[in-house]
Amino acid sequence: MERVILHCDMNNFYASVELLSRPDLKGMPVAVCGDPEGRHGIVLAKNQLAKDAGVITAETVWQAKKKCLGLQFVRPHHDRYKEYSDRINKIYLEYTDMVEPFSIDESWLDVTASQKLFGSGKQIGDAIRRRIKSELGLTLSVGVSYNKIFAKMGSEYKKPDATTEITQENFKELLWNKPVGELFFVGFATAEKLKNLNIHTIGDLACANPKALEALLGKQGPLLHSYACGKDDSPVCLFNQREKIKSVGNGITFRRNLTGLEDITTALTSLSDTVASRLRKYQMKCFGVKVDIKDPNFKTISRQKQLPVSTNLAADLKKAALEIIKSSWRLTDPIRLLTLTAINLTDETCEEQLSLFDAPAESREKGESIERTMDDIRKKFGNSSITFGQILDNDIGIDL
Catalytic residues: 106
Indicate the residue type of 99: V
Distance CA 334, CA 257 (A): 6
**Spatial contact of 144 and 121, defined as CB atoms under 8 Å apart:** yes
CB atoms within 10 A of CB 120: 13
Distance CA 156, CA 178 (A): 12
**Spatial contact of 106 and 10, defined as CB atoms under 8 Å apart:** yes
CB atoms within 10 A of CB 278: 16
Kindly state the DSSP code that residue 239 receives in the 8-state scheme: G
Indicate the residue type of 182: E
Under DSSP, is residue 220 helix (H, G, I), strand (E, B) or coil? helix
Kindly state the DSSP code that residue 284 receives in the 8-state scheme: E
Number of residues in the chain: 400
Distance CA 147, CA 168 (A): 10
CB atoms within 10 A of CB 52: 11
Q: How far is CA 30 from the centre of its chain?
A: 23
- Phi and psi (nearest 5°) for 103? -160, -175
Kindly state the DSSP code that residue 359 receives in the 8-state scheme: P
Angle between the 121-136 and 78-92 helix axes, to the nearest 10 degrees?
Answer: 140
CB atoms within 10 A of CB 71: 21
Distance CA 263, CA 23 (A): 51
Distance CA 400, CA 393 (A): 9
CB atoms within 10 A of CB 169: 7
Distance CA 150, CA 75 (A): 34
CB atoms within 10 A of CB 254: 19
How far is the CA of 389 from the CAs of 220, 269, 350, 400, in angstroms?
A: 28, 10, 33, 11
